[in-house]
């Protein structure tokens, strides 16, 4: 089988020296990639330079990315060049990316100007337009000076990378990941099913930040019918995913 695994967390640049990072060590993804190639499968592995590296990394095809837009470009390339039996998308992808950053005082000055020149009496509309204009202004991406008391960062939603997977390869088995914070198993399954529908995933590994501590890691591998299996370490989650994907691929043949 040919498998694509993504692992680690993206970083969106604020300027040349700062970025917004999604915390993810990439450790779970590294176990998944490892288990797939130990079972004799061919693995493409998209990760970041700050994520943990896979043991025996010479045995898989490594692709490094940093930002969400780099991930999107790399995914597009790999999904165009190859046909995957399964895609395991464990990377923590930034939902938002900084569009423009400025000092508090410059931000206030710009908003005040927009309000004074507004063509409508609707204050909310004026402010919404001002925010749009601000986020569309190109920022010089050098190091922002640290003399100001406040900085304002406006973030814009990023395109959902996971959605392009089934669009480009409807035949592939897609395993998505959903991380929530401090919710019940019922809520985990509920959100997993929603995510599955939206992204046409075959499995969602749903987990709660508060049930992760080192290699202890509670994960629910949810299926479209709402049934799920539970694993309690990163190694068990990796095994469960490899097994479930292999079964599903066999069943389809």
**C-alpha distances in angstroms, 177 versus 22, 69, 130, 185?**
14, 19, 36, 15
Tell me the C-alpha distance between 27 and 1, whole Å: 22
Nearer Cβ to a copy of itself, position 16 or 167?
Answer: 16
| Least gap, CB of 19 to a copy of itself (angstroms) | 6
Q: Which residues are paired to 180 by β-bridges?
A: 208
Residues composing the chain: 253
Nearer Cβ to a copy of itself, position 140 or 225?
Answer: 140
| Least gap, CB of 41 to a copy of itself (angstroms) | 30
Nearer Cβ to a copy of itself, position 7 or 242?
Answer: 7
| Least gap, CB of 224 to a copy of itself (angstroms) | 22
| Least gap, CB of 242 to a copy of itself (angstroms) | 26
Tell me the C-alpha distance between 23 and 10, whole Å: 8
Residue 7 in contact with residue 63, Cβ under 8 Å? no
| Least gap, CB of 171 to a copy of itself (angstroms) | 28
Nearer Cβ to a copy of itself, position 148 or 246?
Answer: 148
Tell me the C-alpha distance between 70 and 82, whole Å: 18
The distance of Cα 101 from the centroid of its chain, to the nearest Å, equals: 23
Tell me the C-alpha distance between 139 and 155, whole Å: 13
Please report the sign of the dihedral spanned by the C-alpha atoms of residue 6, residue 11, residue 13, residue 14: positive
- Binding site residues, a copy of itself, CB under 8 A: 11, 14, 16-23, 50, 92, 94-96, 104-105, 107-109, 111-112, 115-116, 123-124, 127-128, 131, 135, 142-143, 146, 148-157, 179-182, 209
Nearer Cβ to a copy of itself, position 205 or 242?
Answer: 205
66 DSSP assignment: -
The DSSP-derived string for 66-106 is -SHHHHHHHHHHHHHH---SEEEE--B--SEEEEEEEEHHH
Nearer Cβ to a copy of itself, position 66 or 236?
Answer: 66
| Least gap, CB of 211 to a copy of itself (angstroms) | 13
């Amino acid at each position: 089988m040919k498998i694509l695994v993504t692992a680690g967390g993206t970083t969106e640049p604020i300027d040349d020296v700062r970025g917004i990072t999604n915390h993810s060590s990439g450790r779970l993804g590294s176990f998944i990639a490892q288990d797939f190639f130990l079972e004799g499968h061919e693995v493409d592995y998209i990760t970041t330079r700050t994520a943990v590296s896979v043991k025996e990394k010479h045995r898989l095809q490594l692709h490094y990315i940093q930002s969400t837009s780099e991930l999107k470009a790399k995914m597009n390339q790999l999904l165009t060049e190859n046909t995957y039996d399964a895609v395991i998308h464990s990377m923590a992808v930034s939902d938002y990316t900084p569009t423009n950053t400025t000092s508090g005082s410059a931000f206030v000055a710009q908003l005040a100007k927009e309000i004074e020149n507004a063509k409508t009496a609707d204050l909310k509309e004026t402010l919404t337009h001002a925010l749009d204009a601000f986020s569309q202004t190109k920022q010089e991406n050098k190091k922002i000076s640290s003399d100001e008391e406040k900085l304002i960062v406006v973030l814009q939603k990023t395109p959902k990378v996971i959605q392009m997977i089934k669009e480009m390869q409807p035949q592939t088995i897609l395993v998505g990941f959903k991380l929530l914070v401090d919710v019940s198993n019922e809520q985990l399954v509920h959100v997993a099913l929603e995510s599955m529908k939206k992204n046409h995933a075959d499995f969602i590994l749903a987990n709660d930040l508060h049930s992760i501590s080192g290699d202890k890691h509670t994960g629910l591998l949810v299926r479209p019918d709402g049934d799920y299996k539970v694993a309690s370490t990163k190694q068990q989650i990796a095994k469960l995913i490899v097994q479930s994907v292999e079964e599903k691929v066999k069943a389809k043949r």
